[in-house]
Amino acid sequence: MSFEKSNKLEHVCYDIRGPILDYAKKLEEEGQKILKLNIGNPAPFGFEAPDELLVDVIRNLPTSQGYSDSKGLYSARKAIMQSYQAQGIYNIDIEDIYIGNGVSELIVQSMQALLNSGDEILVPMPDYPLWTAAISLSGGKAAHYICDEEQDWQPDLDDIKKKITPNTKGIVIINPNNPTGAVYSKEILLEIAEIARQNNLIIFADEIYDKILYDDAVHHSIAALAPDLFIITMSGLSKTYRAAGFRQGWMALSGPKKQAKGYIEGLNMLASMRLCANVPLQHAIQAALGGYQSINEFIKPGGRLYDQCMLAWRLLNEIPGVSCVKPKGALYLFPKLDMKKFNLHNDQKLVLDFLLQEKVLLVQGTGFNWHKPDHVRIVALPHSGELDDAIHRFGRFLENYKQ
């Protein structure tokens, strides 16, 4: 007798922590040093959380032994509400804010509460694959709309329109984007809002990188641009505040909530079924949002994150057969490899070959639901010296590579 995974998981895929990571772990167990450029986890690369977050968590620990409200601590939700008001999103009340164990938990809950079998959600391609995985787990179908590499990875509006069917319930926007580093223009966001308005779609705005912006990039929250639409905006402590292990994320419901009464009942039920998010760590939220925004030191020229991102971008473009759009935000680069030159047909094999030969771990583009085996994602978190070394190894590996 054997125990099998449920049918629900048959089409669920999350390759960022997928099979290639198991190979990397095996190599590490054999004593090999692997440079992991596969996960956007800032603290282990020396991007530590601001001290004031730790101080608030430690101070509040003795009084955080009980459960909190399912939606989260009042003080933390108030801080989130005020930060959205400061961004021009006014129609949010404390009760419209839900704190979760990371944005990840809220992505899954937001899909589980909404979707019936056959319902469709528009998702960017490439995407952060948890969205597609959560939709599949919930019995829905992700309809991937193209983001156009030639247009700095902005969403292709015609493709969005083409992919709307009577079953389409919502659209996901990841801005700034993982994995492409794109930051969407106000014009594009207004057009997406218009498409949502005309087709009665819920907008899911994943804005976890909203404060990680380079050069002249400006982030616009779509909820501020379209107050008449029902929008769920998500963010958290993992990236801007470098506290991914704290597992604190939130979502804020804005717009005509009466229209979504039934869905909100579903969200409330799922929030209460998991009782509440980790309580002591919720105390970091107010400290983070109200405190000194130290991320700004990292993202300006001369700051560690900016310099590393730009170094990686420059070095990738120096490799024959590789081209990379300059990131405007977030923590990643998503370079394109010349399919003909390398005779590419399997990017998972490419990533595995690179790991075995050069001991550097990347994630293949198809892991982000990209439709061709011609991209990889690189995390720009390691110090410049390590990044330089890793990208030079990538160049050396590609010199004679053919599939």
The residue ranges that bind ligand PLP (CB under 6 A) are 40, 102-104, 128, 174, 178, 206, 208, 236, 238, 244, 249
**CB-based contact 319:132 (threshold 8 Å):** no
- As given in the structure block, the two tokens for residue 206 are 């994943």
CB of 169 or CB of 242, closer to ligand PLP: 242
CA distance 160 to 158: 5
Q: How far is the CB of 237 from ligand PLP (least distance, A)?
A: 7
Q: How far is the CB of 286 from ligand PLP (least distance, A)?
A: 17
DSSP assignment of 112-138: HTT--TT-EEEEEES--THHHHHHHHT
CA distance 268 to 162: 33
Task: Give 86's strand partners.
Answer: none
CB of 264 or CB of 379, closer to ligand PLP: 379
Q: How far is the CB of 268 from ligand PLP (least distance, A)?
A: 20
- As given in the structure block, the two tokens for residue 218 are 């400006």
Measure the N-to-C terminal CA separation of the chain; round to a whole number of Å. Answer: 40
Mutual angle of helices 74-86 and 279-290, in 10-degree steps: 30
Q: In sequence order, what are the residues at sequence separation of 6 or more whose Cβ sits closer than 8 angstroms to the Cβ of residue 233? A: 84, 89, 205, 207, 221, 222, 223, 251, 252, 254
CB of 204 or CB of 263, closer to ligand PLP: 204
CB of 249 or CB of 255, closer to ligand PLP: 249
Q: How far is the CB of 358 from ligand PLP (least distance, A)?
A: 24
CB of 73 or CB of 108, closer to ligand PLP: 108
Query: Which of these, 362, 348, 365, lies nearest to 393 by C-alpha position?
Result: 362
CB of 231 or CB of 398, closer to ligand PLP: 231
Q: How far is the CB of 165 from ligand PLP (least distance, A)?
A: 25
**CB-based contact 133:14 (threshold 8 Å):** yes
Q: How far is the CB of 1 from ligand PLP (least distance, A)?
A: 36
Q: How far is the CB of 373 from ligand PLP (least distance, A)?
A: 22
Chain residue at closest Cβ approach to ligand PLP: 102
* Dihedral angle over CA of 184, 138, 23, 309, nearest 10: 10
Q: How far is the CB of 339 from ligand PLP (least distance, A)?
A: 26
CB of 156 or CB of 210, closer to ligand PLP: 210
CB of 128 or CB of 334, closer to ligand PLP: 128
Q: How far is the CB of 29 from ligand PLP (least distance, A)?
A: 25
- As given in the structure block, the two tokens for residue 389 are 């070394």
CB of 140 or CB of 401, closer to ligand PLP: 140
**CB-based contact 104:130 (threshold 8 Å):** yes
Q: In sequence order, what are the residues at sequence separation of 6 or more whose Cβ sits closer than 8 angstroms to the Cβ of residue 200? A: none
Residue 326: what are its φ and ψ, rounded to 5°?
Answer: -70, 125
